[in-house]
Structure 1
Amino acid sequence: MEIKYLLAFGIALVLTLLVMPRFIPFLHKIKFGQSMRLEGPKSHMVKTGTPTMGGIVFVLIPILVLLLLDYQAFFSVEMLIVVLAYLGYALIGFIDDFLIVVKKNNDGLKPSMKFLLQSVLAVIFYFIYTSVAETTIQIPVLGISLELGILYFVLIFFMFTAESNAVNLTDGLDGLCAGTAFIAIAPFVIFALLQDYSDLAMLLLAVSGSLLGYLRFNIHPAKIFMGDTGSLALGGLLAASAMILKQELLLIVIGGVFVIELLSVVIQVTYYKRTHKRIFRMAPLHHHFEEGGMKETQVVLMFWCIGFLCAVVGLWLGVI
């Protein structure tokens, strides 16, 4: 592996480890603490006041690292989409987090407004991307391309909105979202290297390094949360990377944990509205296991293992 890839990962990791011990006290000082959901697990109420918006660090540091190592990366349309997706969804999350902190409750952006902003970005990225690329998808294993035409718009729209929300829903336990995102990014690094997208590989490695540094402070008991700033950004990054690398379908496999989390909420809400009964003890799914008596750390480790298996299968399907 070229030295620039190691530098991207290493510099982002070191900078995050240096910044976090100063950033956390700063958030405490300005009282940017998390407000826990009243309808969530009662055991989580002790986490109220834990600094949030930690995603700011692992969003900005990788961008700065890429600027330092290869500023020309920002001149390509593909990389511009990825960077704007990462920053754009982070901005939506930041607005949501900021409103929650200011109001001192869990009411940030209205769900309809948040979805509208996510949708607008998805549409923008679709039109920018299709101005330089074809509306085709690669079918894993079969090795064939399928032209979708206007249906590609539906796929991209769903990818960005669903993935960003799915990653957001996964951010409910200490280390869960950061760990599963770190694992899910790995196959896309390999895909980028195999397709000679060196700039994208560097950015993804920088994000991975920064996430690893962030995890040092986010594993149980968490000293900081990423907030929507981080979770929405990671979802946007994964969706944009899958689109650029033409691995749209494999995003479902690689991000299997996120898919399961999202589906658990959809199933729970739909079933409850019709029957006034619950399928899961609590949704998203990680809370179901918590409510069943598993320790938070056990649930996180289990989901990391599932995420690892999903990543391995997705990578295998993408290279055979």
Structure 2
Amino acid sequence: MSERLVMAAGLALIITLVLGPLLIPVLRSLKFGQTIRDDGPQRHLKKGGTPTMGGMIFLVGIIISALMTAEKPTSLEMVTMVGITLGYGLIGFIDDFIKVVMHRSLGLRAYQKLIGQFALAFILMWVSVHWLGRGTDVAIPFTAIHLDLGWFYYILISLVIVVMTNAVNLTDGLDGLAAGSTMFTGIGYLVIALLAANQGGGVAVLAHETDMAVFAAALVGGTLGFLRFNTYPARVFMGDTGSLALGGALVSLAVLTKSELVLIIIGGLFAIEAVSVIIQVISFQTTGKRIFRMTPIHHHFELGGWGEWKVVLVFWSGALICAILGIAAYLPTLG
């Protein structure tokens, strides 16, 4: 098993490292450049024109690696994880295409993206519950308590899926921030998937849980490889193509390992980014005042005088801590 995990991470890493130098010049020649907000940190303006939609680089690496190293690549679990990841990536690609290629600054309208995201969330939950025997119970973090929510499961978990997927997207605002943070979260889910596979009952009602670990390993390898091109100063941005795909990969792992609520902890950095935006909007709408200098919250620290690389390193550290806490929160749920 350990050999397959190393192969999955290594193959995704190699494919990403090979594709980067091939695809980045293509994106640049097609003028798929990023437009930078002029109301953000002024030093970001020099990033204008940097190729975006680079998420395709690691997405190819992750998918090919996962399918090639899986014990059973055609299993419904693996097909579901790959399909949901690609589905969210497709929503991001369409959004990027409209903004970058068609030069429509807003891209997809919010309701259009939400319809697609909730549809994919429902597909993920329906397949997991009715075809993979996942059930409608949720594990309460740090406890052995499992609550069967019945039909309410679809309402609650669809919100968790959509919020956390968009939270990863919000985190993609600094060079290397989203990719590095997802790498640490992916390591956490690699451990969780192995725990689910070794548990032998309860959570491990699904077949081929080890392939979930393979998928998580490929996710780690792909994001690590992308950092070669995405750390400061970035040669390419992942765009919504990449950030939404990463969110889709994480929520897929969460649902299949019965750790949807744990995802809020293990992906706590993403959750904090999303909460900062929500707080800012509510405060401004109700009082006319802003709590933070700018949101998502990583921009707050930038405008406070932190260098971009310092913000990224501190947030990566936070992502690692959240991953460790998430594993600790998951262990008692195994009963």
> What is the TM-score with the length of structure 2 in the denominator?
0.92
Q: Which residue of 1 aligns with 2:246?
A: 234
Give the AA of the match of 1:198.
T
**Contact 1:36–1:106 (Cα < 8 Å) also in 2:** no
Q: Which residue of 2 aligns with 1:191?
A: 192
Deviation at 1:143, TM superposition (A): 1.1
Q: Which residue of 2 aligns with 1:28?
A: 28
Residue correspondence of structure 1 range 1-320 to structure 2 within 5 A: 2-70=2-70, 72-76=72-76, 78-104=77-103, 106-131=105-130, 132-196=133-197, 197-320=209-332
**Contact 2:293–2:300 (Cα < 8 Å) also in 1:** yes
Deviation at 1:43, TM superposition (A): 1.6
Give the AA of the match of 1:252.
I
**Contact 1:100–1:106 (Cα < 8 Å) also in 2:** yes
RMSD: 1.4
Give the AA of the match of 1:60.
V
Deviation at 1:287, TM superposition (A): 0.4
Give the AA of the match of 2:185.
A
Aligned with 2:72: secondary structure?
A: helix
Give the AA of the match of 2:128.
Y
Q: Give the total of aligned pairs.
A: 319
**Contact 1:141–1:317 (Cα < 8 Å) also in 2:** yes
Identity %: 46
**Contact 1:35–1:104 (Cα < 8 Å) also in 2:** no
CA distance in 2, matches of 1:53, 1:146: 40
CA distance in 2, matches of 1:103, 1:71: 42
CA distance in 1, matches of 2:260, 2:118: 17
> What is the TM-score with the length of structure 1 in the denominator?
0.96
**Contact 1:37–1:106 (Cα < 8 Å) also in 2:** no
Deviation at 1:68, TM superposition (A): 2.2
Residue-by-residue CA offset, 1:38-95 (whole Å, 9 max, x unaligned):
332222111111011111111122211222223733322x322211110000000000
Gaps of 5+ in 1: none
CA distance in 2, matches of 1:117, 1:4: 33
CA distance in 1, matches of 2:165, 2:331: 25
CA distance in 1, matches of 2:234, 2:42: 17
Give the AA of the match of 1:138.
A
CA distance in 1, matches of 2:227, 2:303: 24
Give the AA of the match of 1:13.
L
**Contact 2:96–2:241 (Cα < 8 Å) also in 1:** yes
**Contact 2:16–2:57 (Cα < 8 Å) also in 1:** yes
Q: Which residue of 1 aligns with 2:206?
A: none
Deviation at 1:105, TM superposition (A): 5.6
Deviation at 1:35, TM superposition (A): 1.0
Give the AA of the match of 1:140.
P
Deviates more, 1:24-33 or 1:136-145: 136-145
CA distance in 2, matches of 1:107, 1:94: 14
Give the AA of the match of 1:35.
T
CA distance in 2, matches of 1:167, 1:263: 12
Give the AA of the match of 1:167.
V
Residue-by-residue CA offset, 1:167-199 (whole Å, 9 max, x unaligned):
000000001100111011111111111222111
